[in-house]
Amino acid sequence: MTSLVLTLVAPRAATTLDTATISLARDIVRANGETIVLSPEEAVDIPCPANARDVLPQLHTQLAGKVDAVLTSAHDRRKKLLVSDMDSTIVANETLDDLATLAGIGDKVAAITARSMNGELDFATSLRERVALLKGLPLSLLEKAWQDVRLNPGAVELVRTMRAHGAYTALVSGGFTFFTSRVAALCGFEENHANTLLADATDHLTGAPGLPILGAQTKLELLEKLANQHKLADTQTLAIGDGANDLPMLRSAGLGIAFFAKQVVRQAITAQINHTSLRTALFIQGYPASAFVSA
């Protein structure tokens, strides 16, 4: 009986998934079943034995810079719960950094963000420090920042396809509800959670976030709460993120995916998307491209 599945996905804009690459991967993991094409020249599933995990580092070395390769259990592949981070995951932006850039303090805020996402600074502390630098800015600046927010490729397909197949979806961010509410609406997330920015009577930022601050523990608790509400086993849950504050939920989910993640996350999470798009999160679950629900 097959216990694992290796999913290979090539970045469509840069290359194709050729037979030589597939054959190489099959040899390394000692495939024990037929290759299943999920998307011609883009994605395949390769059944393999449990000890394929032992050769995953070798496989990544052989495929470096070419394709994403993710091993998952053959059981419960299609997850029934998606909890995803927003900044640098569902959207290409770091929205707080963008806001700071418009205010002329982009470098200061981005430096603090980088330390936090790399696990070098406590998230709550970093958020307070960054928001303090925004004190006195008009709320209208948020609307201006929103104009530059761009969804990452595959974001809408990921959410809408999972919902179409019975999954519940939630967006959770250490950023702000001003952005998550809009991103959630664009993608089709059923709920969203984030921090709030406090403003004074003149509609200028006070330099303080609303309390309590949503951080790593809150993300984990949301994953656990939603799994409990929907009576799901851990193996039926999926979490996606890129920063240190995503690590607890990524570790706890049945499938935790590091998406173009910071080094501290890549060192901790085995399932990684480093070369392709959020479409790959669907391929990893065994969805063929023909089942995708497009934007």
Number of residues in the chain: 295
Give the C-alpha separation, 294 to 159, whole Å. Answer: 10
Give the C-alpha separation, 239 to 244, whole Å. Answer: 13
Beta-bridge partner residues of 84? 171, 240
Closest CA to 93 of 147, 15, 57, 158: 147
Q: Which two tokens stand for residue 64?
A: 């470096």
200 catalytic? Reply is no
Pair 284, 257: CB distance under 8 Å: yes
Pair 272, 266: CB distance under 8 Å: yes
Which residue in 27, 45, 54, 85 is the catalytic one?
A: 85
Give the C-alpha separation, 90 to 187, whole Å. Answer: 9
87 catalytic? Reply is yes
Give the C-alpha separation, 11 to 279, whole Å. Answer: 10
Which residue in 45, 68, 87, 242 is the catalytic one?
A: 87
State the catalytic residues. Answer: 85, 87
